[in-house]
Amino acid sequence: MVLKIINATDVRVGTNIIIDGSSYTVRSIDISKTGKHGHSKARIEAMGIINEQKKVFVVPGHEKIEVPLVEKRKAQILSISGGNTVSAMDLENFETLEIPCSPEIKEQLEENSTIEYWNIEGELIVRRKL
């Protein structure tokens, strides 16, 4: 579910946006005005929230960009698997989830610790240990 739709010139650093179906966080934006009858252009540099992949693209200033709904929740770790996932229980509705996490965050985790995870358009990811 998309939270809202904004123009490319309304994007600011730190805004979460959807590009090609994936969620990204804007790292920098340059807005340029062209000639007398031209349209403004926005050069947006973004970093993936889930996959941490860098993406740079140029769009017209009036281009509509989707902003995803990012739900930040807390969970308690039940177990840590061999892969890059952890089994956690949501602290509000007590639902058990298999959540992927990056290797850097996984090193800090231990069982029964509390984490913050994000639900971004149905995709889950562990963001930090609390």
| CATH value at residue 18 | 2.30.30.30
Radius of gyration of the chain (CA): 18
Residue 37's pLDDT is 74
**Number of structural domains in the chain:** 2
Instruction: Name the domain boundary from 68, 86, 108.
Output: 68
On whether both 61 and 6 belong to a single domain, the answer is yes
| Structural domain containing residue 17 | 2-68
- Tens-digit pLDDT profile for the chain (130 aa)? 567 898 888 889 988 898 888 889 999 999 888 777 778 888 999 998 888 889 998 988 888 998 888 888 999 888 887 778 888 888 888 888 888 888 788 888 888 888 888 888 888 888 888 8
Q: How much is the pTM?
A: 0.76
On whether both 43 and 74 belong to a single domain, the answer is no
Beta strands in 1-130 (DSSP E): 2-7, 16-19, 22-32, 41-48, 54-60, 64-68, 70-80, 85-90, 96-100, 114-120, 123-129
Residue 106's pLDDT is 82
